[in-house]
């Protein structure tokens, strides 16, 4: 079989365009409507998507005046969606900075059990001082410190998931023995950030480990991805940038002794789709005209670490912005936005328009055939293993992509017509990790 695309649907309330909630079709309360998300998941499953994904942050995101704010805790939401679907993968973000390994290892193993092997964890370190203040900290830990903690966090999680051997459960009614104590082990982890005895209070889940996803593109982020990630959500505006990121991350992965095919790279794309180019462009204009520039400028100012007054709408970005090295949070997104503005000589007003659809992800406007062409071009040019599909408006954007773009990709032999596996790992062509015992680890250390 020829190489095929992987497609993930990134779901966000009424859609990724910040003004999507203002359209007549949109439900402004979608962010807390479980049935809304169940319907979206069923649509994506009908389109044979590999997975759906929910971002998350342990802090209130954005100005509540700007767009639907606040979100359901995503692993809880995934359990509700699991009951309404049967095949599609279920990925949620959770922070290694503001959680402990035992709780998250248990939570994702639970989702994997509930969904019969469809769970994925997007590992993030969480940028910004506001989140820190929700957790008894005056400011966020330094960038390098957050990534060092994340690496140890993952190591502890792996040990906890392996603390039960696959055959530890006997369920032998005749002998009266439910489980084999010799196959359940404490992990006795003592490290720089964590001391965890274990074992996990849950048997090993269907996938062994949830699919590990990562989304940071800074140097530290790429290092963490190369070491642990099995899928990477990323943002690039140009083919050349995407090709460079793809080659770099595959090379880093190989250098660590991992199979580069074992890490799937999925750039984000915001497809604004119309039956004709004119129709697609009209939808894009309608959305952009609904953006409130004052809200958008405040958000941009926070990202760039400047005051809103330093960003006049009809002028280009200031020349004296901080270097990436001076930014402690969301380094790669900061660089992407500044590079976009500088490369295209955009005014602040124009930049706000470009960011309104996907916060720095690539926006593509056109017919279903043109969207399919754009996806195929990057896929075949060594820029992607698949795509993070980010509909600007929900539910209509996902329905349009599923009904009109997916069939084109299928006709071209680029995407599955039926699921061939039942677990998320099988969808991504990845093996189930074999369980490791503590004794084996000690012998091979």
Region 172-196 average pLDDT = 97
pLDDT band at 319 (very low <50, low <70, confident <90, very high): confident
pLDDT band at 108 (very low <50, low <70, confident <90, very high): very high
Region 239-268 average pLDDT = 97
Q: What's the Cα-to-Cα distance from 284 to each of 36, 318, 365, rounded to whole Å?
A: 23, 28, 7
pLDDT at 415: 98
pLDDT at 440: 42
Res 443 pLDDT > 80: no
- Which segments of 165-231 does DSSP mark as H helices, in order? 219-228
pLDDT band at 328 (very low <50, low <70, confident <90, very high): low
* Token pair recorded at residue 239: 């083919």
Model pLDDT for residues 36-46, shown as the tens digit of each residue: 999 999 999 99
pLDDT at 303: 77
CATH architecture of 6-274+361-444: Alpha-Beta Barrel (3.20)
Region 276-291 average pLDDT = 91
Region 108-124 average pLDDT = 98
pLDDT at 62: 67
Res 315 pLDDT > 90: no
Region 259-276 average pLDDT = 97
The secondary structure of residue 207, as a DSSP letter, is T
CA–CA dist 92, 94 (Å, integer): 7
Res 98 pLDDT > 50: yes
Res 140 pLDDT > 70: yes
Region 394-414 average pLDDT = 98
**Do you find a cis peptide bond into 90, omega within 30 degrees of 0?**
no
If you count them, how many residues does the chain have? 445
pLDDT band at 299 (very low <50, low <70, confident <90, very high): confident
pLDDT band at 382 (very low <50, low <70, confident <90, very high): very high
Q: Which residues contact 207 (CB under 8 A, 6 or more apart)?
A: 112, 117, 119, 423, 424, 425, 432
Q: What is the mean pLDDT of the chain?
A: 91
Q: pTM of the prediction?
A: 0.88
Q: What's the Cα-to-Cα distance from 343 to each of 164, 285, 346, 355, 364, rounded to whole Å?
A: 52, 23, 8, 15, 18
pLDDT at 301: 82
Q: Which of 4-18, 72-86, 356-370, 384-398 has the lowest mean pLDDT?
A: 356-370
> Percent of the chain scored above 70 by pLDDT?
93
Region 334-339 average pLDDT = 79
Asked whether the beta carbons of 257 and 243 are under 8 A apart, the reply is no
Q: Which of 174-178, 351-355, 390-394 has the lowest mean pLDDT?
A: 351-355
Tell me the helix, strand and coil percentages in the chain, rounded to 5: 45, 15, 40
Which residue's structure tokens are 């389109």? 47
**Domain map (residue ranges) of the chain:** 6-274+361-444, 292-355
């Amino acid at each position: 079989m020829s190489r095929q695309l992987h497609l993930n649907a990134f779901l966000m309330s009424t859609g990724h365009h910040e003004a999507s909630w203002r359209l007549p079709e949109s439900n402004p309360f979608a962010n807390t409507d479980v049935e809304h998300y169940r319907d979206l998941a069923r649509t994506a499953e009908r389109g044979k998507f590999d997975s759906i994904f929910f971002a998350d942050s342990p802090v209130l995101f954005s100005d509540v005046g700007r767009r639907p704010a606040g979100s359901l805790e995503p692993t809880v939401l995934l359990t509700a969606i699991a009951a309404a679907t049967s095949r599609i993968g279920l990925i949620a973000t959770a922070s290694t900075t503001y959680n402990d390994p035992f709780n998250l290892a248990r939570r994702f193993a639970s989702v994997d059990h509930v969904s019969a092997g469809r769970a994925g964890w997007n590992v993030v370190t969480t940028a910004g001082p506001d989140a820190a203040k929700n957790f008894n900290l005056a400011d966020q830990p330094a960038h390098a410190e957050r990534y060092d903690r994340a690496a140890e966090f993952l190591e502890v999680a792996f040990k906890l998931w392996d603390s039960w051997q696959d055959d530890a459960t006997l369920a032998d009614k005749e002998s009266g023995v439910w489980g084999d104590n010799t196959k359940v082990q404490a992990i006795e982890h003592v490290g720089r950030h964590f001391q965890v005895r274990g074992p996990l209070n849950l048997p090993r889940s269907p996938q062994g480990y949830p699919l590990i996803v990562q989304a940071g593109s800074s140097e530290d982020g790429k290092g963490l991805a190369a070491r642990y990630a099995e899928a990477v959500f990323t943002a690039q505006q140009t083919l050349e940038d995407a090709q460079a990121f793809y080659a770099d991350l595959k090379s880093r992965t190989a250098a660590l002794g991992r199979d580069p095919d074992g890490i799937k790279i999925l750039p984000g794309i915001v497809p604004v789709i119309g039956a004709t180019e004119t129709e697609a462009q009209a939808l894009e204009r309608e959305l952009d005209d609904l953006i409130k520039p004052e809200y958008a400028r405040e958000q941009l100012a926070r990202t760039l670490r400047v005051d809103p007054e330093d960003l006049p709408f009809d002028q280009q970005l200031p020349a004296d912005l901080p270097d990436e090295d001076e930014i402690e949070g969301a380094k790669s997104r900061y660089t992407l936005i500044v590079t976009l503005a500088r490369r295209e000589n955009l005014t602040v007003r124009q930049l706000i328009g470009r960011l309104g659809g996907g916060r720095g992800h690539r926006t593509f406007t056109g017919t279903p055939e043109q969207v399919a062409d754009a996806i195929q071009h990057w896929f075949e040019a060594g820029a992607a293993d698949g795509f993070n599909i980010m509909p600007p408006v929900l539910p209509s954007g996902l329905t349009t992509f599923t009904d009109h773009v997916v069939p084109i990709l299928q006709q071209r032999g680029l995407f599955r017509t039926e699921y061939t596996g039942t677990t998320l790992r099988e969808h991504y062509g990845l093996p189930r990790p074999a369980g490791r015992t503590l004794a084996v680890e000690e012998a091979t250390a």
